[in-house]
Amino acid sequence: SQQGEEDPQALSIQEGENATMNCSYKTSINNLQWYRQNSGRGLVHLILIRSNEREKHSGRLRVTLDTSKKSSSLLITASRAADTASYFCATVDTGRRALTFGSGTRLQVQP
Amino acid sequence: EAGVAQSPRYKIIEKRQSVAFWCNPISGHATLYWYQQILGQGPKLLIQFQNNGVVDDSQLPKDRFSAERLKGVDSTLKIQPAKLEDSAVYLCASSSKKQGNIGDTQYFGPGTRLTVL
């Protein structure tokens, strides 16, 4: 079963703009991770944030986590055409080990 | 370091036929996962191995799907007989912590795209 929903389902922006994607989940988690999937390719791990963390940065990526609202956001700053992909949040639930993925946000960055 | 390898990349079969997928994880990775990704959805875990033992197969349709990981390295996933709704991309992933600790990063292969006609 899917863990939760990503919002928006699709996003189209111009190169250089920022892109923000949101993820909601339902259960108690150990950590939340974001993955990128280019068309027809496997998933690539972007960033992991633990349940006791509120914000994390990696290059042009910024992730926030609000466990009280069971939500997370991924911000991509100064987007590039190469950022065009689907982005998935995935949670590791407390007491489990495997990832539970959301339904994804399809990001299109126009050059 | 070589990534997760999967084969074949594409497979087209008719319903009620059998099919098998192969995965070779990153060397030394103790934990191996199989996911099913239906078009437009996120991946869904089918089965998780720790070395050659099954950790979680709660979402594996056991009447038609089976998986094994002999010797704790390569793994095969089989569907017999296939149904139309099995059309999906089958992703293999592996992670490194020997105990399969919570939160370890998973590395995904390119997937096998299965079309059932």
% of chain B with per-residue pLDDT over 90: 76
Classify B85 as helix, strand or coil.
helix
Name the more confident of B103 and B109: B109
Question: For A25-40, what is the mean pLDDT?
Answer: 90
The mean pLDDT value for A53-76 works out to 96
Contact residues on chain B for A33, CB-CB shorter than 8 A: 105
Q: What is the pLDDT of residue A41?
A: 76
Q: Which of the four pLDDT bands, split at 50, 70 and 90, describes residue B105?
A: confident
Distance from CA of A18 to the nearest CA of B (A): 23
Q: What is the pLDDT of residues B52-98, one digit of tens each?
A: 899 999 999 999 999 999 888 999 999 999 999 999 999 999 988 65
Average pLDDT estimate for B24-35? 93
- Contact (CB<8Å) B103/A92: yes
Span A11-34, mean pLDDT? 94
- Cα(A43)–Cα(B108) distance, integer angstroms: 6
What DSSP string describes A54-81? SEEEETTEEEEEETTTTEEEEEE-S--G
Cβ-based neighbour number of residue B75 at 10 Å: 23
